[in-house]
Amino acid sequence: MSAPLLSVDGVTRRFGPETCGVLAVDNMSFDVRQGEFVSIIGPSGCGKSTLFSMLGGLLPPTSGRIAVEGDVITGPHPAVGMVFQEESCLPWRSVIDNVAFPLELEGIGKSERHDRAQHFVELVGLHGFEKRHPAELSGGMRQRVCIARTLAAKPRLLLMDEPFAALDEQTRLLLGDKVLQIQQELHQTTLLITHSITEAVQLSDRILVMTYRPGRLKRIVEVHLPRPRNADVVTSPEFGATVAEIWSDLREEASRGMAASEVS
């Protein structure tokens, strides 16, 4: 068996001093294999976003080791692409120039990078909007621009941190559909961080459930829904059963999180 694309080994992240600081991520270990779609799910405050920053090389772990294609990462890695939770289009650039941004940083000439960016603009369904600026687009379209931009850099591993968190439910489902379609087309290995159970079940092969503070790996759920999938998968009985299974795991963690936030 070939080495996993991403391997996370005993990763811990603490903020502040050893005695009184916050332990955000505690001794997490897991692998993501080539071509897999894995979701990490957990209640708010479980250290999901901290883990995301560490996987992207933006934040060093306090201890433990993260390797991509066998390479221990010490900073942003060329094989890893990140899509952020926040609004992250460059507002002064048009859609095409946003998507071409990583290619521009690599020093690729204008006509070639526009050609290459065009493919990803079409892939996310934004054909006809190339010359528009982010302020002229809806939130869902802007998030698609960011996904296209990250894909344009041809990452072997796509990391997404709650990319649909700010969108309404219908847009989320349809965007999930788009992500499924892209994943099936590109065989893109993807790690999605989310707090939405339906989103995780709709999209994933495996789901890692995290505990509330400190963030630990609670359980790994395999999703046996057939592929190719689309947004209609949410109506199937298997879907409901998987959602219920994860909810029973998550419920306890979510109520711990809620109790903690009420105390503080």
| Contact partners, residue 53, CB within 8 Å, separation at least 6 | 59
CB of 81 to other proteins, least distance (A): 7
Tell me which of 89, 96, 148, 210 binds other proteins, using CB under 8 A. Answer: 89
105 binds other proteins (CB under 8 A): yes
Tell me which of 9, 31, 104, 245 binds other proteins, using CB under 8 A. Answer: 104
Residue from 119, 126, 156 nearest 143 by CA: 126
- ∠ CA 45-205-12, rounded to 5°: 35
* Range in contact with other proteins (rule: CB under 8 A) among 21-29, 100-108, 218-226, 230-238: 100-108
90 binds other proteins (CB under 8 A): yes
CB < 8 Å & 24+ apart, contacts of 219-225: 219/249, 220/30, 221/245, 221/246, 221/249, 225/201
Beta strands in 125-213 (DSSP E): 157-161, 189-194, 206-210
68 binds other proteins (CB under 8 A): no
Q: Tokens representing 217?
A: 């790996």
Site string for other proteins, 130-159 (x = CB under 8 A): ---xxx---x--x----------x------
Closest CB to other proteins among 21 and 91? 91
Residues lying near other proteins in the complex (CB under 8 A) are found at 56-58, 75-76, 78, 80-82, 84, 86-93, 101-102, 104-105, 133-135, 139, 142, 153, 166
